[in-house]
Chains A and B, each alone.
Chain A
Amino acid sequence: MFKGFIDKSRAKSPWIMHFDCGSCNGCDIETLACLTPLYDVERFGIINVGNPKHADVLLVTGCVNHRNKSVLRNIYEQMPSPKAVIAIGACGLTGGIFRDCYNVVGGVDKVIPVDVYVPGCPARPEAIIDGVVEALNLFQQKQAG
């Protein structure tokens, strides 16, 4: 019974960690817009914790470059499982407009496994919230450990 309650709670309290992996700031602003009273993601129990050790969901905006790929991997590894990763925006998905730059590695999934892809340039707040809710469905299937 207690285990059932924990599994249910997991979907009700996704704490997010937002990492700006070299985005143009467009996607970041849309991500932060989700926290404002207009969208109020706290009604789903979502909190922006800013600390990988407390986070369940990692939101990554922007394309990965050679400088910050180790930072991204480091943050991912500090998160206790079960965890989910959401890539946001065209840049986070594939490298977007920056994909041909000499310093760009590409999308987030070149470095860490990505569970949900949220397209858009910039991605809309509704789409981001949708992405988090989608990740929660994955949580129901993922096991701790």
Chain B
Amino acid sequence: MQGLIFAIIAVVFAPVAGGLLAGLDRRVTAWMQSRQGPPIMQAIYDAAKLFGKEKLVVNRWQILCAWVYLIAAAMSVGLFFAQADLLIIFFVQAAGAVFLVMGALSARSPYSQIGAQRELIQILTYEPMLILVFVSMYLVVGSFNVSDILAYESPLIAKLPLMFIVLGYALTIKLRKSPFDFSTSHHGHQELVKGVLTEYSGPFLALIEVAHWYETVLILGVTALFWATSWYWMLLLLVCVYFAELLIDNTMARMTWRWMLRYVWGIGLALSFINFIWLYAR
């Protein structure tokens, strides 16, 4: 019962938090580029404006796909705050991510086709990393349940420092930050316009935007599990991680998907392997 209440609160407030975070993100980015930047509420204004626009769709698939993506993202956040099983959360989130790609593939525009294929590669890159992170938590705690992980007495980051870096890669890809922002990014690309989002417009683009905020909250939630023993340290960890993301975003150039696949899988698998051996050796 308590889990259900937590879940409802999270589903209602996660978009607000995600939207404000997106606004803050743009503000800090502008500061790093010595500009003034938009107001903190900007991301929320953008979404509200999109909801008020005319509904133009290429085909009916897009409507369905945008809604499924949103519902899956909201459900995974709800399940996370209801302290359910990490694997269920993972599968719900992955199913939603695939629907985003299907919606983009249903339109014949080359921009959205190439964007969708790049998005698929991105999913293929970060999902194994997420699974490895969840498995490592299982190896330490002995359970996939968020409630058990929260109840664990010492901070996980002390035992899984390398897995934290692996999660960092997944976070960077999921937040669409450079150097991994090639399926789409906040500002339009030179070569791909808005990539996977090109053919979504008006209210349906807004749905996807809101779903993206949910996913941001989910991944930051997983990050918070690494130091769940004290509120203070958890908050500090989240702030540092997000600031590091912004720094990476502003100092890196976009790379190619081949490089990403090789680099993230190579480094990610190596780090996981070392961390797993270290867990056993202790």
Contact = CB atoms under 8 A, between A and B. Distances in A.
Interface of A: 3, 5-10, 12-13, 15, 37, 40, 42-45, 47-51, 53-54, 56, 78, 80-82, 144-145
A123 B36 CA distance: 24
Given A6-B49, A80-B201, 15 more contacts: A7-B52, A9-B44, A10-B52, A13-B46, A37-B34, A43-B39, A44-B38, A49-B188, A51-B188, A53-B198, A54-B201, A54-B205, A78-B56, A80-B54, A80-B202
Contacts of A15: 46
A6 B194 contact: no
Contacts of B124: none
B236 interface: no
A22 to B, nearest CB: 21
A53 B188 CA distance: 13
Given A37-B34, A40-B30, A81-B54, A50 B45 contact: no
Interface of B: 26, 30, 33-39, 42, 44-46, 48-49, 51-56, 187-188, 193-194, 197-202, 205
A47 B50 CA distance: 14
Contact of B48 (A9, A44, A56, A145): A9
B51 A6 contact: yes
A22 B99 CA distance: 40
Contacts of A10: 49, 52
Contacts of B54: 80-82, 144-145
B52 A49 contact: no
Contacts of A48: 187-188
Contact of B38 (A9, A42, A50, A53): A42
A10 B202 CA distance: 12
Nearest to B109: A53
A51 B53 contact: no
A81 B33 CA distance: 33
A46 B267 CA distance: 39
A51 B52 contact: no
A10 B45 CA distance: 7
27 contacts: A6-B52, A9-B44, A9-B45, A9-B49, A9-B52, A12-B45, A13-B42, A13-B46, A42-B35, A43-B35, A45-B45, A48-B187, A48-B188, A49-B193, A50-B188, A50-B194, A51-B188, A51-B194, A53-B199, A54-B194, A54-B197, A56-B53, A80-B54, A80-B202, A81-B53, A81-B54, A82-B53
